[in-house]
Amino acid sequence: MIWARVAECDVRRDLQGHAQRSWSQALASDLGGSWTALEGERQVSEKELWAGLGQLRQRVAVLGANLRFAHGLEDVRKMVSIVEHKLQVIPKRNYLGAYG
């Protein structure tokens, strides 16, 4: 997410500097097109990230509700380890999807 914002700021600064530099209209148009495409990708990644966070939040809530049904410490460990795994996998999947 941060890299997308940095790239966005760089492109905006470059496009604003177009009036001060002797860039060709084609280059400015190409930068504008690239910025539009990257902005679309950033928005999709952001939606996927929030959806993943919503899933994780739901899993943690279900875990909390299910703890009262655990028959012993081993049941609790199994339930917690499943949620811990999801907490590790979803952010990695989102990161690799955005930058992989």
Q: Report domain extents, the chain.
A: 2-99
* pLDDT at res. 24: 78
Look up the pTM and report it: 0.51
CA distances in angstroms from 18 to 6, 44, 60, listed in the order given? 18, 28, 49
- Computed from CA positions of residues 58, 61, 67, 69, in that sequence, does the dihedral angle turn out positive or negative? negative
Task: Round to the nearest angstrom and report the end-to-end CA distance of the chain.
Answer: 14
* pLDDT at res. 95: 62
* pLDDT at res. 17: 61
Q: How confident is the model at residue 99 (pLDDT cuts 50, 70, 90)?
A: low
* pLDDT at res. 49: 82
Q: Which residue from 86, 85, 100, 26 is spatially nearest to 56, judged by alpha carbons?
A: 86
Tell me the per-residue pLDDT of 26-38, one tens digit each, with 9 for 90 and over: 787 888 888 888 9
What is the distance between the alpha carbons of residues 95 and 22, in angstroms, rounded to a whole number? Answer: 37
Statement: residue 18 has pLDDT above 60:
no
Per the prediction, the chain carries an average pLDDT of 78
Q: What is the number of residues in the chain?
A: 100
* pLDDT at res. 25: 78
Statement: residue 65 has pLDDT above 80:
yes
